[in-house]
Structure 1
Amino acid sequence: MAVPTKQAVPDIFFTPEWNEAYAAHEGGEFQQFEWKSELGHIIYPFIKRPVPMLEGWFDTITAFGQSGPVIIDAKEGQRRALVDEFDAAFQDFCEQQCIVSEYIRFSSWVKNAEDFFPLYGLDMRGIVMYIDLTVDDPFRFEFSSAARQQVRRALKNGVTLEYDFTGDTLDDFCRLYDLTADRNEFPDHYLFAPEMLKESFKHLEGKQFLLNAKYDGKTVSSALIVHHGDYMHYHLVANDPDYFRCAGNSLIMAEACRYGKELGFSQFHLGGASTEALYRFKRRFTKTEPLEILTGKRIRNSDMYGRLTELKRLQYGIENTGHFPLYRG
């Protein structure tokens, strides 16, 4: 299970650096399963977590973002056979490692679910939006007239931009992110320890930066942007609600597109749109059709899955019967 070369990995969420940086956020440790044969090459980065209630057993989840198993190379006409080989080998691995179940956030843009969907129960979990950076000028051809007007308003208001490639301004970002999280009632999964984000700049050196909008010397909007391969991501965003009128976030979006196009990225991903208001905001910046967010679930040890679920039901009750795995519901 050697780590593959960085060039082979299609997006940042598949890289060892990303998974090491975000493993603690998922409550486990980064591991990677790799399968190579004459039919091809598959990698699968995941976070291995201890299951509650019963020591010595584990489950897996993909790190924050979108990844899962992905074909790096396949012999022509043999993708299905390669996937079957991989699945048999990973089942053996799960038995050896006492892994009960796995949960995958597939990549909407790499589209790895197309190869692996027969193995997993798939759920559609919403949409993800992105800006096409291959057009001649994203500001002209992707942004709506309202978005362009917001950018011009920010410039007229005297908003300036600041790049931070080292994380020196992370305290400002975290301050704004706390305001944003409180205002929008973010679920726990979207709350990040400042220490973890600071450490991520060591893991992801050269692959992420903060883009800050400043007004009258004060940071009023900030975005943590990550990138690898063809893709750039609007990973986390934070705003001071007292300065919405400055339109700093719109200016950040325009500058990120300029930067991404200059560096040759093909897509700038804006994340999901879980509310109508968020959809309307992001839709201002792209005319490209959204992509589906697909998740996969798989029980690798049915007997233990049932035992853990029954233990949870008897000891604590199951609050969310739609959750997977059910013993975490």
Structure 2
Amino acid sequence: MAVMLTTLLSDIFFLPEWGKAYATQDLGESKVFEFATGYGHIYYQFVVRPIPIALGDVNYYDTITPFGQSGPVIISCAAGRRKELAAAFDAEFQKYCIANNIVSEYVRFNSCVKNAEDFKEIYSIDNRGITMYIDLSVGDYFLEEFKSSTRQQVRRALKNNVEIEYDYTGATIDEFHRLYEIMAKRNNIPNHYRFSKELLAESFSLLEGKQFIIYAKYEGQYISAAMYLHHGDFLHYHLSANDPEFFNVAGNSLVLNEGCRWGVENGKKQLHLGGATSDVLYRFKRGFTKTEPLDILTGKKVRNETIYNLLVDYNLSRGIIENPEHFPLYRG
């Protein structure tokens, strides 16, 4: 059944092993809720987090989908019954939440498979920006997707004799994390948003055969790297790591070009680059694709309004809610 389920789930972020690998990043426990009827099947992976507020003797929780993009996804459905199936799923998951003291739910939907469309009447949907991807199904991604300035960067790296190295097992995770920390500190990424070396090392065991690192090396030294994920038609530029002292030799551009080459050779249709937190990063990623970006959509839902309001009121009375736009508000 597990093997069959893996083949039915279209992107790596839906896989059970993904939830197990990254649940700790969201400080919770990975769970799966499956809903099946005679006319359809929905699979939903999420992380259950304890709410650090005491209300009597009961412990309350909320949920968030694991880092990445997933959410509930319809695996199968009879023609014309998707809306009915989503509503039935929602009713059953509501019962599950009440039985398990789950107060609220936050979903990061998958831009690749666009599963938010099936659940837009269930959740309050927000647009959180855009995510970019390279269309690997074109005749020649280098000419048809890359901008001329990006092609020049790739050629510069080759002219500088930058070399490519692969790691499929995580044996070089120390080196990757060294480069990752250089980048994280340079971009002032808070500690709680960074990935630990231990988590990344363990992910290679849990995601065996679905994750690898591509390095750029210059004069024998690792200067740039990207961790790639893959499943089905999709390849993901998951994490990047660069030493800015070597930006002039364009190793990061060569690493992305190599990722595209690997994707084409292994039958992938899209290489997802993710979003951008700065204008510089946006321009860099946009240089690799002429394809229109996809929307990043999230969903939110209060599953127990009474308890939700009590939690919000409690933290408001303590004056510790800093962001009134955050969901759930008691964590703001």
TM range (shorter): over 0.9
SS at match of 2:175: helix
Select which of 175, 198, 210 maps to 1:172.
175
Paired residues in the alignment total 329
Deviation at 1:184, TM superposition (A): 1.2
Gaps of 5+ in 2: none
Deviation at 1:189, TM superposition (A): 5.3
Letter in 2 for 1:43: Y
Deviation at 1:315, TM superposition (A): 2.9
Deviation at 1:238, TM superposition (A): 0.6
Residue 101 in structure 1 maps to residue 101 in structure 2: no
Select which of 75, 79, 99 maps to 1:76.
79
CA distance in 2, matches of 1:189, 1:98: 26
Matched residue, 2:52: 52
Q: Quick one: structure 1 residues 297 and 232, their matched pair in 2 at CA, closer, same or farther if it must change by over 3 Å?
A: same
Residue 22 in structure 1 maps to residue 25 in structure 2: no
Matched residue, 1:308: 311
Deviation at 1:244, TM superposition (A): 0.4
126-135 or 187-196: bigger deviation: 187-196
Matched residue, 1:33: 33
Matched residue, 2:66: 63
CA distance in 1, matches of 2:189, 2:232: 29
Contact 1:60 1:102 in 2 (8 A): yes
SS at match of 2:120: helix
CA distance in 2, matches of 1:295, 1:99: 18
Letter in 1 for 2:189: F
Select which of 243, 246, 261 maps to 2:249.
246
CA distance in 1, matches of 2:92, 2:4: 18
CA distance in 1, matches of 2:227, 2:44: 25
SS at match of 1:76: coil
CA distance in 1, matches of 2:319, 2:233: 45
Select which of 128, 131, 134 maps to 1:128.
131
Deviation at 1:186, TM superposition (A): 2.0
Letter in 2 for 1:99: I
Matched residue, 1:209: 212
CA distance in 2, matches of 1:38, 1:4: 18
CA distance in 2, matches of 1:61, 1:166: 29
Deviation at 1:317, TM superposition (A): 2.1
Kindly provide the CA deviation profile for residues 21-57 of structure 1, in whole angstroms up to 9, marking residues without a partner as x: 0000000000000000012000000000001112511
CA distance in 2, matches of 1:27, 1:136: 43
Letter in 1 for 2:101: C
Matched residue, 1:11: 11
Kindly provide the CA deviation profile for residues 217-264 of structure 1, in whole angstroms up to 9, marking residues without a partner as x: 110001000011110000000100100011001001111101001100
Letter in 2 for 1:306: N
Select which of 278, 292, 316 maps to 1:289.
292
Deviation at 1:183, TM superposition (A): 1.1
Select which of 257, 278, 286 maps to 1:275.
278
Contact 1:126 1:274 in 2 (8 A): no
Letter in 1 for 2:111: S
Deviation at 1:187, TM superposition (A): 4.1
Letter in 2 for 1:321: P
CA distance in 2, matches of 1:326, 1:22: 24
Letter in 2 for 1:59: D
Residue 153 in structure 1 maps to residue 138 in structure 2: no
CA distance in 2, matches of 1:44, 1:272: 24
> Once the two structures are aligned, what percentage of the paired residues are identical?
56
Alignment of 1:84-95 (within 5 A): 84-95=87-98
Deviation at 1:4, TM superposition (A): 6.5
Deviation at 1:63, TM superposition (A): 0.5
CA distance in 1, matches of 2:43, 2:31: 11
Deviation at 1:314, TM superposition (A): 2.1
Contact 1:160 1:215 in 2 (8 A): yes
Deviation at 1:274, TM superposition (A): 2.3
Kindly provide the CA deviation profile for residues 47-95 of structure 1, in whole angstroms up to 9, marking residues without a partner as x: 0000111251110000000000000000000001111110100001001
CA distance in 1, matches of 2:128, 2:149: 29
Q: Quick one: structure 1 residues 4 and 88, their matched pair in 2 at CA, closer, same or farther if it must change by over 3 Å?
A: farther
Matched residue, 1:114: 117
Select which of 182, 186, 196 maps to 1:193.
196
CA distance in 2, matches of 1:315, 1:300: 24
274-283 or 35-44: bigger deviation: 274-283
